[in-house]
Amino acid sequence: MDAAEVRARFDAEVRANPPAQIGRRTEWFDGVLRHTLSYNFIDWWDFGPDRAFEIAKREAAFYRPLGDLKWKIYSHDAPANLGPALEAAGFAIEGRETFLALDLESPPAWPAPPDGVEVRRIIDSAGVADMTAVNAAAFGEPGNWTVEFLTQRLVDPTLSLWVAYADGRPVTSGRLELCPGTVFAGIYGGGTVPDFRGRGVYRALVAARAEEARRKGYRWLTVDARPTSRPILLRLGFEPISELTAWWLRARR
């Protein structure tokens, strides 16, 4: 894999030109691509070091009334002083991850799901409720989205929701985000309830989403991997593309 080529294409095709999503507003404002409504985040911008502190302060003021804001900085991003500028504006680092990619033209031989495990694509609100319950148990806190909002997004062609069931019990969940018109799809939010970790259910959910992306014609499957999932994903054939840092601005409560 040519990591530099994948990184450059992802920046140009996904970060700088994200697909429209139900419930999300995306708009440029003076050097920053803002995402609001369903999820407040920034991961693309175009300004130099001379404006970093000014813009970080401005975006903090804009987003604070709207709720929490996540600003993702990849290790190849500029300007170099953006991290200090975010810290000065009230942001704090709440996670370091590795951006990985898998070539779907030559995927690995996926292991079979464990006995008694069935991976399903979610199609109704009952399945969405299972997904959000698993997510809350896996990560120790409720997710960013409600059952009502995710149920509305079931008709969104850029998204599919997945749950793995062990003998009928929902134990692992995650999303597949598609970027139409590009070669990229991404997996997000993958998590397993504590008492089912280490049994191969997470791998089965990755495999199901990867096969769905491959079937729909996508070349690269990407993921922001936490330290806990990175070793599993590397063993499945994903390769490092960049490191990333999640800076969070928490709304005043």
pLDDT at position 26 over 60: yes
- Is residue 53 within 8 A of residue 85, CB to CB? The reply is yes
SS3 content of the chain, % helix, strand, coil (to 5): 35, 30, 35
> What SS3 class is residue 220?
strand
Max distance between CA atoms of the chain, in angstroms, equals: 58
> What SS3 class is residue 168?
coil
Q: What is the mean pLDDT of residues 8-34?
A: 95
Q: What is the mean pLDDT of residues 220-243?
A: 95
The model's pLDDT over 73-114, given as tens digits with 9 standing for 90+, comes to: 999 999 999 999 999 999 999 999 999 999 999 888 888 899
- Is residue 227 within 8 A of residue 202, CB to CB? The reply is no
The model's pLDDT over 28-69, given as tens digits with 9 standing for 90+, comes to: 999 999 999 988 999 999 999 999 999 999 999 999 999 999
Task: Please name the residue ranges forming H helices in 1-113.
Answer: 3-10, 52-63, 82-88
Confidence label for 187 from pLDDT (cuts 50, 70 and 90): very high
pTM value?
0.93
Delineate the domains of the chain, giving CATH numbers in brackets: 3-98+245-249 (3.40.630), 106-218 (3.40.630.30)
Confidence label for 3 from pLDDT (cuts 50, 70 and 90): very high
* Nearest CA-CA partner of 55 in 82, 16, 17, 26: 82
Q: What is the pLDDT of residue 1?
A: 86
Q: What is the pLDDT of residue 137?
A: 93
CA 11 from centre of chain: 15
Confidence label for 253 from pLDDT (cuts 50, 70 and 90): low
Q: How far is CA 191 from CA 36, 120, 130, 195, 213, in A?
A: 25, 15, 13, 12, 19
Confidence label for 251 from pLDDT (cuts 50, 70 and 90): confident
The model's pLDDT over 125-183, given as tens digits with 9 standing for 90+, comes to: 999 999 999 999 998 876 677 899 899 999 999 999 999 999 999 999 999 999 999 99
Please provide residue 21's backbone torsions phi and psi, each rounded to the nearest 5 degrees. Answer: -130, 145
